[in-house]
Structure 1
Amino acid sequence: MKKVRIISCMLLLLLAALAWVEGYKPPTPLKFIVPRNWPKPKYDFAKNPLTQEGFLLGRKLFYDLRLSVDSTVSCGSCHQQFAAFSTYEHNLSHGVNSSLTTRNAPALQNLAWQSNFMWDGGIPHLDLQPLMPLTAANEMGETLGGVIRKLQQDASYPKLFTAAFGSPLINTQRMTKALSQYMLMLVSSNSKYDRVMRGEDSFALPEQLGYNIFKQKCSTCHKEPFFTDGSYRNTGLPVDNTLNDYGRMNSTGDHKDSLKFKVPSLRNVAVTFPYGHDGRFFSLMNVFDHYRRDMVVAATTDTLLLRRMPLSNYEIGQLTAFLNTLTDTIFLKNSMLAPEGKLESVPFQHLH
């Protein structure tokens, strides 16, 4: 009991001292709203509570070019908002020193419901995900020590870290938690499809026909409402002999995982081209042709695709009409997610 009292007194003294810090005020909670009929998020918010100050710090970090070794690349350079935070038009994302990466940066959306990241699932937690691109030689090319030093030398960052976390201490854990707070708010749930599901809109005939075809032929892997089941599958993509990217096998070392890549979400698919882990498909038509004609069936090809996927031109037309209903323009244009957008400009409460 004596030890408990001592600890309690120490905590009270610490809180009292903190209250006297000039200009300090507790961060403002930022509510995370789960869209109607969506499952519980997988991210543990108790270990990283969302706040307005944390979100704003994370947003600044996300778009700061100085986090790269030559100050030419930020997270936002490869993850562009108008393309659902994916790499637009380029098959391979660009890194420092005019280099190319080996993959096409995937869309960043609805990350709170994911537990593994990257095309091969090699990163097991959102807070850890930024560490790879920050330090990869062909991406941002920095060291963690170099990043922290840059932040410490910028007069604005100690103030932002104080506002978000209560003190000017800048370290890797706080930096990645702030980045997570920004990325967690990249929620896409207001497409026409979502409005239809909520009873606020209705599909046109081609869209409805496409939805019916989608449920018959695509929904096993692209499960609603995220339009991915989060699994890793070999969809018959032959290996690129230059990149030699064997997907999940790179992470697990298991030959059974050869050429398996994460099933991408089809949300905002109309604006996230090119498609595939290496951006080899520049249009949806290229993707449809792959599944109905060009697949390479091999030892680890997914059992659902051993006979490819029969698709007529008619079915492709209707499917395309449905896939276009997955575009969430509110998400793509939300100024709060842009580098200089005001937090109160489009309240998150109005987005779901």
Structure 2
Amino acid sequence: MRDQRAPILYHDGVETPAPDEDQVIGEIITSMTRESEATAARYKHAVRASHAKISGVVIGEFQVLPDLPPELSQGLFARPGTHPVIVRFAQGPGEILKDSVSTHRGMAIKVLGVAGETLPGHAADTQDFVFATEPVFPNPDARGFLGSMKQLEAGTKAPEAVKAAVSQTARAIDGVVKAVKGESAPLLDFFGHQPLHPLAEPYYSQAALRYGDHIAKLAAFPATPAQGALADEDLHPGDDPDAFRHAVTAFFRGQAAVFELRAQLCLNLNDMPIEDASKPWSEEASPYRTVARIVLPAQDAMSAPRRAYADDVLSFRPAHSLAAHRPLGSLMRARLKTYQALSNVRHARNVTPEAEPRAIAGVPA
């Protein structure tokens, strides 16, 4: 049953940073930079420190719905209308691996032509949302992520066959957990996500962000019958090392995909904490409610120019944001700094300046 309490109001005191948070974030950046340098030496080209392997990049429309209730009509969603959008689908690791290493996956969204005050350092009229396939993050905060990052950094040097075996084992164990508990274990899903079609799954912000006068988590849910028909269809990444990419490009070759963007409002900070990104917010108490549609028409989702543009020029990060949607909590504060630092490393290494698109026409066809 939906909780009838009003969503809480945002105020600056909702965040409670740990005293050593800046030091911890600095250590995360150092660890991820070392990982990036190791993969850049391997590929002779710098790749993203996470979500490196692209499955497809598409353009379309971001349609803010009309007649939203006051608590949902906030920030970017305060006025109905249509914006150009760029969406990048990718695998989780910061390496270019065969899809037999089936980990969590990401959906990065860049909305163009937004209006309003932006976060410091972001002068463009874009709003980014960076989503992943698990509703929560495996670690509660920056310190927890630092521990996981050190393990990921150490694992970068492991043979790919070992990574595939770890992923397969994690999937198998998570299948048992899901059968017993009815839901996946976030850490197991992180390393061993089921090989489902990338366009048939929901994607989540995992952590909280400001939602105008309120606080929310966001998510994107598949919204066409064609996508729904793919929901229970496992791909076979053991047979095809690029199974996810081939599935995405084949789908967009002949039809459109639609995702509903939904907001889950925070009702209280005890049951729906901001500083602990590993704790689920009850969907029974506060269900996800649709505020926009992402309409992605049929197109070539993997042309060589577009892939190079998405991989080497574009950056998707939480700091590309309106002030009305400022990321909140320890994990998000870490993301604000780490994404910027690692983007700088990648673009400098590749001698390719980062550029925010001013118009959708700038995206290669």
Taking structure 1 as the reference length, the TM-score comes to 0.26
- Give the number of the structure whose residues are more often helix, by fraction: 1
- Determine which structure has more spread, i.e. the larger CA radius of gyration: 1
- Give the number of the structure whose residues are more often strand, by fraction: 2
